[in-house]
Amino acid sequence: METAVTTPEAELEKKEILNRYRGLLRSCRYKLDDADKKLIRKAFNIALEAHKNARRKSGEPYIYHPLAVARIVAEEIGLGAIAIACALLHDTVEDTDITLKDIEGMFGKKVASIIDGLTKISGVFDASSSLQAENFRKMLLTLAEDVRVIIIKLADRLHNMRTLDSMERTKQLKIASETLYLYAPLAHRLGLNSIKSEMEDLSLKYTEPVLFAEIAQKLKDTQAERTRYIHRFITPIREALHDQKFKFRIFGRPKSVYSIWNKIKNKGVPFEEVYDIFAIRILIDSTPDQEKSDCWRVYSLVTDYYYPNPDRLRDWISTPKANGYEALHTTVMGPNGQWVEVQIRSERMNEVAEKGYAAHWKYKQGGHGEEDPLEEWLRKIRASLENPDSNALDFINDFKLNLFADEIFVFTPKGEMKSLPVNSTALDFAFDIHSQVGAKCIGAKVNHKLVPLSHKLNSGDQVEILTSSKQAPKADWINYVVTAKAKSAIKALLKEERNKQAAEGKEILKRKMSHLKIDFTDTNINKITAFLKLQDAQELFYRAALERVTNKELKEYLESKDENTNTPLPVTSLEDLVSKARGKQDTLMIGDSMDNLEYKLSPCCNPIPGDDVFGFITIGEGIKIHRVNCPNAVAMMSNHAYRIVKAKWTSQKLISFLAGIKIIGIDKIGLVNRVTNIISKELNVNMRSLSFDTNDGTFEGTIVVFVHDTTHLTDLIKKLQKVDGVVKVTRLDTN
């Protein structure tokens, strides 16, 4: 009998796999009994055997990935043995010969249903719809079965983000954008704060590598100075807490790179001017019945030493966020006139904030427990998904609004509290009660005063909905609501109404066509639809019902038909355009090799040669070229990844492109003259427009110039920065 020959490399890998498995067992935050250990060992052995010949893009054994995902589930989220076993097995049904029936036979129905949910998420969908949106929708549907499906999927995505280096640039961009658009908000909604922050940071690392490196370096450079300041701030508070006999931990935590970048981008300030680079966190070891009053006592001690900003107090202890987050946040004036954010929580609240509310839900240790806000939230999602007609992309955009939203708390006339996103209206409240109440809503009484449907609600409002059987939803209602539930219900009701009218319009059109002796056939209907440049036959019938399809238009169609008897109407499907753009190599080159494809430079970000760009396939306007850091890039890459094609500049011909420059500085005599001299003489650049505005000794100017590429633009910016009196020169994203 022959024995298998093993190489030293294979022996080392085997050793490393066992080390990682032992590390997984050590990382379990809950004590495992013998049955748990047996279950995890069995799952590990089966996953190891199933993936034995597979390797990741990096060249590592594939088993490293399920082991890493299981470790995130155990250590960073804190789920039990069933979830750990499912994480180890999560790719087996999709990628190996093991079937769902095999899993059920070996592990039982519960594990099989979770693996089934994870496999469905990764399913391939019809290419004409957005793969990402459909995937995400399917993922939410699985919540109906078990929330652990989502948590393991988030852990899987986090590990993929941590190992994204081995992927090619275009894949990195798509995965990072999708993570930022869908997965990070979902982690936030489930209360997985540390996972959300890491996903955001890693996404930024790949979508904006230069900016990410710059902020990370600045955080590193200012660390010593920050540590000294934190120590100075904390010292008096620590002494006061000791005096009051509190058991506590107090420390400073730097904000994530992503949140700092957001401040820089949204507020237009440099890194040095972002005042809340860090937050002070005070964690008190307190019993559940005392933690609320203890947090307020700590707040009182902090404000004895530092003056609070009354507009920046956030009380999430009295009314926790929907994801279970509880804390007191205040911003106080620290030493050197610097505002500092202070977060006060109990150790239990901190556990929920960092590891996620889901980990404390009824699945922990297989217990049942009572229904809680997470279950209520899952039920709302399921209600939104029940409508089979709802468009996946619309659903994602509506749902995303709610993922990020802060909340208000309002009351029914009987005193029942309802939680709604901030900016919700009386109409949102009506749909939250029931879709039929929303459909018949004519107005509301807020705190006993009559208000219109569009009235924005505030926390503490008491709301009574007024209805009428004669009321029907209107198209402009969609502008009055912010909740996903209301939006999807209004769209469904309007669609239903539109279909009724289209059915009437079909009969009207049939009579008109009969009068003009045009046969009422599918072919003629499609030709008339194309002639009138309408979206589809349903739109044609709807317009006919509104008397917007005239006899004159039908006669014009007849005349054009006679002229073009032998000329078929050109039809270019999106699929044709995609395959034409992608070619055999799935690449698109801008410049010489793209003569046969129409493309336009997108006005939302004005790309110029040298910019990192991608192509986006539109139906009517060919291919549009966007910068990778375009404000719309994340949504496009997430929702329409299949319509993204590679694009890069192939030749640097001396063609001029428009670019905008913003200049800020001190108003000095002759400064504008020196700036215009540099632009027109030194670099031989043509200006399209120039505007300067002075205000109390400072000036701000916007110049739109023609440049050849990014190098040309960078040289110009560098020269302008050297002009005496100029403080800051930046490129404008839009002109």
CB of 680 closer than 8 Å to CB of 687: yes
CA distances from 259 to 228, 266, 329, 635, 710 (A): 22, 10, 17, 19, 28
Residue 565 reports pLDDT greater than 60? no
Query: What's the angle, vertex CA 140, arms to CA 135 and CA 141, rounded to 5?
Result: 95
CA distances from 732 to 261, 647, 655 (A): 17, 22, 20
95 a catalytic residue? yes
User: Is residue 553 included in any domain, yes or no?
Assistant: yes
* Number of other CB atoms surrounding residue 576 within 10 Å: 10
Instruction: Identify the CA nearest to 251 among candidates 241, 265, 243.
Output: 241
Determine the pLDDT at residue 735.
45
What is the tens place of the pLDDT at every residue in 8-27? 777 888 898 899 989 888 88
User: Is residue 304 included in any domain, yes or no?
Assistant: yes
CB of 577 closer than 8 Å to CB of 619: yes
| Residue linked to tokens 């450079």 | 221
3-state helix vs strand vs coil in the chain, percent to 5: 55, 15, 30
User: Is residue 534 included in any domain, yes or no?
Assistant: yes
Which three-class secondary structure string do you get for 475-540?
Answer: HHHHHHCCCHHHHHHHHHHHHHHHHHHHHHHHHHHHHHHHHCCCCCCHHHHHHHHHHCCCCCHHHH
| Range of lowest pLDDT (31-40, 350-359, 414-423, 514-523) | 350-359
Determine the pLDDT at residue 155.
92
User: How many CA atoms lie within 13 Å of 635's alpha carbon, on the beta-carbon side?
Assistant: 9
CATH code where residue 33 lies: 1.10.3210.10
Q: How confident is the model at residue 723 (pLDDT cuts 50, 70, 90)?
A: confident
What is the tens place of the pLDDT at every residue in 481-524? 988 888 888 888 888 888 888 888 888 888 888 888 888 888 88
Q: How confident is the model at residue 567 (pLDDT cuts 50, 70, 90)?
A: very low
- pLDDT averaged over every residue in the chain: 79
In terms of domains, do 175 and 237 share one?
no
Determine the pLDDT at residue 10.
79
User: How many CA atoms lie within 13 Å of 223's alpha carbon, on the beta-carbon side?
Assistant: 7
Give the residue-averaged pLDDT of 76-102.
Answer: 87
CB of 84 closer than 8 Å to CB of 111: no
Give the residue-averaged pLDDT of 210-231.
Answer: 90
In terms of domains, do 266 and 314 share one?
yes
Give the residue-averaged pLDDT of 70-98.
Answer: 87
User: Is residue 549 included in any domain, yes or no?
Assistant: yes
Determine the pLDDT at residue 564.
55
Q: How confident is the model at residue 29 (pLDDT cuts 50, 70, 90)?
A: low
The four Cα atoms 442, 447, 450, 451 give a dihedral, to 10 degrees, of: -70
Highest mean pLDDT among 110-119, 289-298, 535-544, 690-699: 289-298
CB of 640 closer than 8 Å to CB of 130: yes
Alpha helices in 244-319 (DSSP H): 257-267, 291-305
In terms of domains, do 77 and 100 share one?
yes
In terms of domains, do 245 and 188 share one?
no
Residue 102 reports pLDDT greater than 60? yes
Q: How confident is the model at residue 683 (pLDDT cuts 50, 70, 90)?
A: low
Give the residue-averaged pLDDT of 711-720.
Answer: 84
CA distance 516 to 558: 9
| Range of lowest pLDDT (125-134, 141-150, 199-208) | 125-134
Q: Output the six-digit token pair for 37.
A: 């250990």
In terms of domains, do 137 and 99 share one?
yes
Q: Is 115 exposed, middle or buried (0-12, 13-18, 19+ CB in 10 A)?
A: buried
Query: What's the angle, vertex CA 165, arms to CA 623 and CA 118, rounded to 5?
Result: 80
Domain residues for the domain of 255 are: 215-355
Helix (H) or strand (E) holding 308: strand 307-308
Residue 85 reports pLDDT greater than 50? yes
CA distance 363 to 30: 13
Q: Which residues contact 527 (CB under 8 A, 6 or more apart)?
A: 557, 561, 569
Q: Which of 13, 60, 95, 145 is catalytic?
A: 95
Q: How far is CA 1 from the centre of its chain?
A: 58
User: Is residue 544 included in any domain, yes or no?
Assistant: yes
Determine the pLDDT at residue 198.
94
In terms of domains, do 184 and 266 share one?
no
User: How many CA atoms lie within 13 Å of 77's alpha carbon, on the beta-carbon side?
Assistant: 36
Q: How far apart are the first and last CA of the chain?
A: 76
User: Is residue 537 included in any domain, yes or no?
Assistant: yes
CATH code where residue 678 lies: 3.30.70.260
Residue 357 reports pLDDT greater than 70? no
By residue count, the chain amounts to 735
Strands 328-334 and 307-308 turn out to be antiparallel
For 3, phi and psi rounded to 5 degrees? -105, 145
94 a catalytic residue? yes
In terms of domains, do 502 and 635 share one?
no
Instruction: Identify the CA nearest to 74 among candidates 18, 30, 17, 118.
Output: 30
Q: Output the six-digit token pair for 686.
A: 């043509």
Q: How confident is the model at residue 300 (pLDDT cuts 50, 70, 90)?
A: very high
* Number of other CB atoms surrounding residue 240 within 10 Å: 16
Determine the pLDDT at residue 385.
58
Q: Name beta bridge partners: 407.
A: 421
Q: Which of 16, 94, 102, 407 is catalytic?
A: 94
Q: Is the pTM of this model over 0.95?
A: no
Determine the pLDDT at residue 577.
47
Determine the pLDDT at residue 372.
54
Give the residue-averaged pLDDT of 46-60.
Answer: 87
Residue 36 reports pLDDT greater than 80? yes
The beta strand positions in 110-247, using DSSP E, are: none
For 89, phi and psi rounded to 5 degrees? -95, 5
CB of 277 closer than 8 Å to CB of 219: yes
In terms of domains, do 239 and 348 share one?
yes
In terms of domains, do 151 and 236 share one?
no
In terms of domains, do 53 and 138 share one?
yes
Determine the pLDDT at residue 389.
56
Highest mean pLDDT among 88-102, 585-599, 657-671: 88-102
Q: How confident is the model at residue 392 (pLDDT cuts 50, 70, 90)?
A: low
Determine the pLDDT at residue 437.
92
| Residue linked to tokens 């993570």 | 179
Alpha helices in 332-472 (DSSP H): 347-355, 373-385, 392-404, 426-433, 435-439
SS3 label, residue 79:
coil
Instruction: Identify the CA nearest to 637 among candidates 629, 355, 148.
Output: 629
Residue 589: which region, alpha, beta or left (left: phi > 0; alpha: psi -120 to 50)? beta
Determine the pLDDT at residue 88.
93
Determine the pLDDT at residue 302.
93
CA distance 32 to 84: 11
Strands 463-467 and 441-446 turn out to be antiparallel
Give the residue-averaged pLDDT of 419-433.
Answer: 90
CA distances from 291 to 327, 373, 498 (A): 10, 20, 55
In terms of domains, do 542 and 685 share one?
no
| Range of lowest pLDDT (56-65, 109-118, 220-229, 354-363) | 354-363
Q: Which of 649, 678, 710 is the last residue of a domain?
A: 649
In the chain, the number of structural domains is 5
What percent of the chain stands above pLDDT 70?
Answer: 80
For 126, phi and psi rounded to 5 degrees? -55, 130
Q: Name beta bridge partners: 645.
A: 615
Q: Which of 591, 626, 649 is the last residue of a domain?
A: 649
Residue 190 reports pLDDT greater than 80? no
**Which is more confident, 722 or 282?**
282
In terms of domains, do 622 and 538 share one?
no
CB of 332 closer than 8 Å to CB of 307: yes
Residue 582 reports pLDDT greater than 70? no
**Which is more confident, 328 or 409?**
328
User: Is residue 114 included in any domain, yes or no?
Assistant: yes
Determine the pLDDT at residue 236.
94
User: Is residue 225 included in any domain, yes or no?
Assistant: yes
Q: How confident is the model at residue 217 (pLDDT cuts 50, 70, 90)?
A: very high
Highest mean pLDDT among 229-238, 257-266, 329-338, 575-584: 229-238
Residue 694 reports pLDDT greater than 80? no
Q: How confident is the model at residue 137 (pLDDT cuts 50, 70, 90)?
A: low
CB of 657 closer than 8 Å to CB of 707: yes
* Number of other CB atoms surrounding residue 357 within 10 Å: 25
Q: Which of 292, 321, 355 is the last residue of a domain?
A: 355
Residue 179 reports pLDDT greater than 70? yes
Give the residue-averaged pLDDT of 89-118.
Answer: 87
Determine the pLDDT at residue 680.
73
